Amino acid sequence: MDRQFLIVSTICFFAAVVRTIVALRAGIFRPGQFNFLAIGLGFIFQTAFLSIRGHALGRCPLTNLFEVFIFVAWSVALIYMLVGPAYRLSLMGAFTAPLVVLLQGFALIAPIDIRHPVRLPANPWLEFHASISLVAYGAFALACIAGVMYLVQERQLKTHQLRSVFYHLPPLTDLFAAITRLLWWGFALYTLGLVSGFFVGQPLPYVQMVCASAVWLLYAAILQGRHLRRLAPKHVAALCIIGFTAALTLLWGITFTAQMPSPP
Amino acid sequence: MNLFCVGLSHHTANVETRERFAGHAETDCILRAAGCAEALLLTTCNRVEVYGASEERVSTDEIARCLVRKVDNKTEEYALPFYRYEDTRCVQHLFRVASGLDSMVVGESEILGQAKKAYESARASGAAGPCLHRLFQRAFHVAKQVRTHTDITRGSVSVGSVAVDLAQRIFGQLGNCKVLVLGAGETSERTARALVSRGVTDLRVSNRSSDRAEELARLVGGQAVRFDEWPSQCREIDILITSTSSETPLLTPENLSAMLRNRVDRPLFIIDIAVPRDVDPSVNEMEAVYLYDIDSLQSVAEQSLALRRQQIAAAEAIITEHVAAFGKSISHRLDCNAPPSTEDRALGETPLRTSES
């Protein structure tokens, strides 16, 4: 039953992607209300899925890679709903929907929804640690998307080839301001998640600690480079994309190792 | 009631002919005396058109006579350059005109304001009645819809406005931007004025002749800067407009990188409208520097025009839909005096405010 909600949610996000592609082909690149509505509906179904799964598990649904991917996709949609309209980045929806479709599509197709043989006990600190870290991933994902938008806009300005999309993307300085804010929000949430990991009452696996610290250091370095003005906006945008790709890969690694049976 | 449009435009007549038939203050009255129950004169630099409604057909020649500014002996030529559209084709033509599809620069929006002004004038004089009221209200609604749902007005099509548009695409609000105008030529002045009109308040002008710099600074509300001080200004500014008569480039990657040290996160937009160019083209390769010379600005203007032309089909589709709906609503009622339906009201038609006329 819960997977059906997820399928409907993926269809909603996919509809937003199709709409964008059709608009692009017609040369009318306009986000409009449809994208926001489709993403909003998709978000509602995502929330319904997580809620049902959470009730069934009796805890925050973050017990396997499948649930982690869906939670990241939900965080991306959540941050978009909060940030997109506020920063007038309505076009961000056109870039957000494909990422969510990829995450959810992969989660639905790949055989990664493996239930734990035993019911995992609820641990509020562990759940807080995991969920807040994944919401931070949502902010990093949006920073990555804003980074893609920045590079698209920058490339067109540099080459003097201005396509229809150029007139619908936000100004470069606004995009860079959004990237910076998203990075700071993501970093603050991730730090909170990392610190809360020390209170879970059980030792975290060494690999997880190393991977989580690597992600934290990577974003700290990007922010420091930005703060000290050592990095040009274009490089910050590119690093946001590289950073999120690396963070997602490490997240996979973390979750995968956490699912492996412990040595006797 | 027969709806018609008789006119001439840049497509059919040269400026001399358009001047000859530009109409005058009494044209509305003469048209009504000639048999038009309702009449509206739309005159712009590119077109002279009469929109009318009459029970009996009023000949094109008769309307041409009403439009002529000075009576001359060339009476036999009156109707020659005129086109005439009736009923559905008249409706379609007006919708195209109001949407900017029939304009010399496709998608320009000035025509909509001119059409509104012409309508207001005809309404105030009592020359426009219920038929033209409905027709024009619907035309304004269609024009708005075309502008909202297509990219027909996107992009700028003149060098000055392209420069300003690009500046807004880089910086967003221009209120906080610092601008340096290097060389006080005519194009620089136009571009500077366009930037000021979009909110720029900090504008500096530097020229070899300090008198000319001060004069331009006064004209655009900026401040004059000595010519030997412009390199130091480059550290602070966001937009540089350059049009000096220098034979060698004033800005090269070498001297600019020294000027821009420690300003990695602030973009610099350079508009080089000098020929020969004042800025070495390789400056565009520098981080966060966006260089546009006169050719690239022209190229962007042409891209915008091409983009607008691509949108014509989408705009025509919207117009066709509205022409059919308008024709249906008129034929349903068979009478322009009937009040507009709920659907018509939703599409922008309101009852004619006769009390104001």
pLDDT digits 0-9 by tens, B98-119: 999 998 888 888 899 999 999 9
User: Could you give the angle at which helices A124-159 and A172-196 cross, rounded to 10 degrees?
Assistant: 160
Q: pLDDT band for position B181 (50/70/90)?
A: very high
pLDDT digits 0-9 by tens, A88-129: 555 677 778 899 999 999 999 988 787 766 666 777 888 898
Q: pLDDT band for position B184 (50/70/90)?
A: confident
Could you tell me which chain A residue has the CA closest to the CA of B176?
Answer: A173
pLDDT > 70: percent of chain A = 87
Yes or no: say if B180 and B233 are a contact pair by the CB < 8 Å rule.
Answer: yes
- Helices marked H in B198-238: 210-220, 230-233
What per-residue confidence (pLDDT) applies to B72? 61
Q: Contact B310/A172, CB-based, under 8 Å?
A: no
Rounded CA-CA distance B72/A253 in Å is: 90
Instruction: Look over chain A and give the mean of its residue pLDDT values, rounded to a whole number.
Output: 85
Least trusted range by pLDDT, from A239-243, B144-148, B305-309: B305-309
Size of interface A-B (CB pairs under 8 A): 71
Among B146, B147, B154, most A C-beta atoms within 10 A, so best to mutate, is B154
Q: Contact B267/A173, CB-based, under 8 Å?
A: yes
Residues in chain A within 8 Å Cβ distance of B300: 160, 162
DSSP B173-209: S-TT-EEEEES--HHHHHHHHHHHHTT--EEEEE-SS
What 3 state SS string does chain A have?
CHHHHHHHHHHHHHHHHHHHHHHHHHCCCCCHHHHHHHHHHHHHHHHHHHHHHHHHHCCCCCCCHHHHHHHHHHHHHHHHHHHHHHCCCCCHHHHHHHHHHHHHHHHHHCCCCCCCCCCCCCCHHHHHHHHHHHHHHHHHHHHHHHHHHHHHHHHHHHHCCCCHHHHHCCCHHHHHHHHHHHHHHHHHHHHHHHHHHHHCCCCCCHHHHHHHHHHHHHHHHHHHHHHCCCCCHHHHHHHHHHHHHHHHHHHHHHHHHHHCCCCC
The answer, yes or no, to whether residue A22 has pLDDT greater than 90, is no
Higher pLDDT, B15 or A100: A100
The answer, yes or no, to whether residue B182 has pLDDT greater than 90, is yes
Identify which of B151, B290, B299 has the shortest CB distance to residue A164.
B151
Could you tell me which chain B residue has the CA closest to the CA of A235?
Answer: B287
Q: Contact A233/B288, CB-based, under 8 Å?
A: yes
The answer, yes or no, to whether residue B74 has pLDDT greater than 60, is no
Where does residue A27 rank: exposed (0-12), middle (13-18), buried (19+ CB within 10 A)? middle
The answer, yes or no, to whether residue B355 has pLDDT greater than 50, is no
What per-residue confidence (pLDDT) applies to B334? 45
What per-residue confidence (pLDDT) applies to B275? 84
User: Among B37, B116, B150, B250, which residue's Cα sits nearest to residue A26?
Assistant: B150
Q: pLDDT band for position B73 (50/70/90)?
A: low
What per-residue confidence (pLDDT) applies to B105? 82
Q: Contact A157/B155, CB-based, under 8 Å?
A: no
Q: Contact B307/A171, CB-based, under 8 Å?
A: no
Q: pLDDT band for position B356 (50/70/90)?
A: very low
Higher pLDDT, B352 or B149: B149
pLDDT digits 0-9 by tens, A156-167: 999 998 877 777
Q: pLDDT band for position A74 (50/70/90)?
A: very high
The answer, yes or no, to whether residue B353 has pLDDT greater than 70, is no
User: Is the ipTM beyond the 0.85 threshold?
Assistant: no
What per-residue confidence (pLDDT) applies to B161? 83
The answer, yes or no, to whether residue B71 has pLDDT greater than 70, is no
The answer, yes or no, to whether residue A243 has pLDDT greater than 90, is yes
The answer, yes or no, to whether residue B61 has pLDDT greater than 90, is no
The answer, yes or no, to whether residue A58 has pLDDT greater than 90, is no
Q: Contact B287/A232, CB-based, under 8 Å?
A: yes
CA distances (Å), A59 to each of A73, A255, B133, B227, B315, in order?
Answer: 19, 17, 66, 71, 54
Written as six digits, the tokens of B101 are 């599809």
In the residue annotation, B36 being an active-site residue is answered as no
What per-residue confidence (pLDDT) applies to B347? 53
Interface of A with B (CB under 8 A): 26-30, 153, 157-158, 160-164, 166-167, 169-174, 176, 226, 229-234
The answer, yes or no, to whether residue B17 has pLDDT greater than 90, is no
Rounded CA-CA distance B136/B128 in Å is: 10
Identify which of B169, B262, B310 has the shortest CB distance to residue A27.
B310
pLDDT digits 0-9 by tens, A210-224: 888 999 999 999 999
Q: Contact A233/B267, CB-based, under 8 Å?
A: yes
What per-residue confidence (pLDDT) applies to A262? 46
pLDDT digits 0-9 by tens, B33-43: 888 899 999 98
Residues in chain B within 8 Å Cβ distance of A28: 149-151, 311, 314
Among B145, B147, B151, B297, most A C-beta atoms within 10 A, so best to mutate, is B151
pLDDT digits 0-9 by tens, B220-248: 889 999 998 888 888 889 999 998 888 88
Rounded CA-CA distance B65/B238 in Å is: 57
pTM of the entire structure?
0.74
